Amino acid sequence: MEKRRQCVSQSRGGHGRTRSLFGLAFWATSFCMLQVWRADLVATTSAWCRGFRLALDGEARSAKLACRARKAAAAAKAADAAKAADAAKAADAANQTKPKRRGRKAAAPKPPDAKDAADGPAPPAPDRSWEQKRDQMLLVAVRIVSHGGTQGSGFVISNSHNGTYVLTNHHVIRDSIHQHDRWDPLAESSKKVDRFMPVTVESFDYDEQGRHLRTVQTPADIVAYSMYGDKWSFEGDLALVKLRAPITNPAAAVIAEGDFGEVRALDEIVMFGCPDASELPLPTTGHVASLSEQRAGIGLMLSQVFGNPGSSGSAVFRYSSKQSRYEVIAIHSLTDSRGSLTDVGKGCFLRLAIQAPEIHKFLRLHKLEGLLGLETGQSNESNESKAHPE
């Protein structure tokens, strides 16, 4: 028993010393870690304080610079004002030293006329630009309906004692032309003979603001035409019709052949027509895209103006600074596939038009060049018989 007690007391003493060593090591480690954390905290706090102090110094420096700049600007402004005042004083002194000239007394204002005072203030002058656009573009545009129901556009090219003539495309009134063979006993051969069916021309009247008032339908006879054909037999796609009754609409001015050289690419243009069976002519603005297009040797103008089926025969206008008026520089005929928006033939913003020189050639070919330049109230008896179909 005594030996067992000694062993137990020895073991207890060993465990006690072990606990003391562990405790000492723990507190030593804690103390070291506390010293390290304290050193890091002091370093971090010092760096933050240093940065805050630098920021405050920068703001103070910026404020000082701004204050100096304001003072310098105020000083410069004051110096300029002083210089201006000195210059004004010098000018006044110079004027005082010059001898004064006697001038004429200002005329007394003329008293208003009693009649003018009774009538009140004069009415505002009419808008000449609007009247010019109405008379030279809007009123000349018409709609064409062929014998077969095809609808297209056109414009009045002449309106005089000789009658009213409208220019359009051949393919618009193509179904109103019937061809048949007739035997010629002298030549012992047959030849093609045209039989023309009447077409309908719809003209339009407007009020002073351009609002539609009425539509006048007039039958018309085909006078002359040039074949539309394909890309090899294209002859110009032009057709001239004469109304059976006169109308009051003015005629468009076609640019002279010699003046067509003034037309340039990117010139602003206006196209008036009845796209997609529109009840009224509608304007479309754009510009000349190219003057180098051709079809079977016929000169065409590529224009960037939006249109739909029914725009064929529309006049393409350009303002001439030389003549101070809107002139027809081309007549729309074809669409260009490069400007198609859909695959169904509708919505195209690139269009091909027959140039004005080709219109002059067409009229000369049919001995109708005298129609151009005739206004309402004029006549050309020498061309009267030539204007009627045989």
Which CATH number characterizes residue 225's domain? Answer: 2.40.10.120
| Range(s) of the domain holding residue 254 | 128-182+192-381
Strand bridging mode 199-206 / 282-295: unpaired
pLDDT band (50, 70, 90) for residue 329: very high
Give the span between the Cα atoms of 27 and 130, in whole angstroms. Answer: 103
Torsion of CA 154, 159, 164, 170, to 10 degrees: -30
The predicted-structure confidence for 113-151, as pLDDT tens digits, reads as follows: 555 545 556 655 555 688 999 999 999 999 999 988 889
pLDDT band (50, 70, 90) for residue 215: very high
**Are the C-beta atoms of residues 251 and 142 closer than 8 Å to each other?**
no
101 domain residue, yes or no: no
Q: Ranked by mean pLDDT, which of 11-15, 48-52, 141-145, 308-312 comes out on top?
A: 141-145
26 domain residue, yes or no: no
pLDDT band (50, 70, 90) for residue 49: low
| 3-7, 60-64, 169-173, 337-341: the lowest-pLDDT one | 3-7
**24/350: higher pLDDT:** 350
For residue 382, what pLDDT is reported? 37
For residue 82, what pLDDT is reported? 81
Give the span between the Cα atoms of 36 and 1, in whole angstroms. Answer: 53
For residue 191, what pLDDT is reported? 75
DSSP-based three-state secondary structure for 272: strand
The tally of domains found in the chain comes to 1
Tokens representing residue 350 in the block: 């690139």
Q: Sort 240 into a burial class: Cβ within 10 Å, 0-12 / 13-18 / 19+.
A: buried
Please give the mean pLDDT across all residues of the chain.
80
For residue 387, what pLDDT is reported? 38
99 domain residue, yes or no: no
For residue 7, what pLDDT is reported? 54
Tokens representing residue 14 in the block: 């060993």
57 domain residue, yes or no: no
Q: What is the pTM of this model?
A: 0.62
98 domain residue, yes or no: no
4 domain residue, yes or no: no
pLDDT band (50, 70, 90) for residue 97: low
User: Is a pLDDT exceeding 80 seen at residue 237?
Assistant: yes
What is the phi/psi pair of residue 226, to 5°? -125, 140
210 domain residue, yes or no: yes
306 domain residue, yes or no: yes
Strand bridging mode 238-243 / 253-254: unpaired
Average pLDDT (298-325) is: 90
